[in-house]
Amino acid sequence: MELLTAELRHQLSANWIDGQENAEIGQAELDYAPVLKLFTPWAQATWLLTELNEDTGILFGLCDLGLGCAELGYVSLHELEQVRGPVGLTIERDVHWKPKATLSVYAEAARRPGRIVTKIEALAAAQQYLAGEARKAGKPCMSRLLLED
């Protein structure tokens, strides 16, 4: 299975370009919903990805290698495509996954347990915390839950 369809690649790239343009004019960082979820079927690694720099093949998102410390960061698409597990298994795209929140909410929800969590209660608590922190700082809260699901 291809990790990125043309549609996913387009959305990830559009997010990257939009984010770069926003940074150039000094606007606040954008908080995208993850575009896709990748995982290892033989281990506990998971990636929730929001952006792709087409020039470098570098993706941005929440990376959880199953070691107890999920973190926001960058990962090479080429390297993900080259990973092989037992009996030649490869990293897969979760074709049934739909995002429930923006990336900052997932990152906050992962902070305490050290892994990506998807339960709506944990995501709601994380979003509430982020909204409170934004209020304290006098900034708008960019994070949100996607309750249309």
- pLDDT tens across 104-146, in order? 999 999 999 999 999 999 999 999 999 999 999 988 888 889 8
Asked if the structure places residue 96 within a domain, the reply is yes
Asked if the structure places residue 14 within a domain, the reply is yes
Q: How many angstroms separate the CA atoms of 140 and 149, rounded?
A: 24
Asked if the structure places residue 117 within a domain, the reply is yes
- pLDDT tens across 59-104, in order? 999 999 999 999 999 999 999 999 999 999 999 999 999 999 999 9
Asked if the structure places residue 92 within a domain, the reply is yes
Residue with tokens 């739909």: 98
Asked if the structure places residue 144 within a domain, the reply is no
- pLDDT tens across 63-73, in order? 999 999 999 99
Residue 26 has pLDDT above 80, yes or no: no
For the chain, how many structural domains are there in total? 1
Q: How many angstroms separate the CA atoms of 9 and 26, rounded?
A: 26
Q: Which residue has the higher pLDDT, 49 or 26?
A: 49
Question: Which residues span the domain enclosing 38?
Answer: 6-137
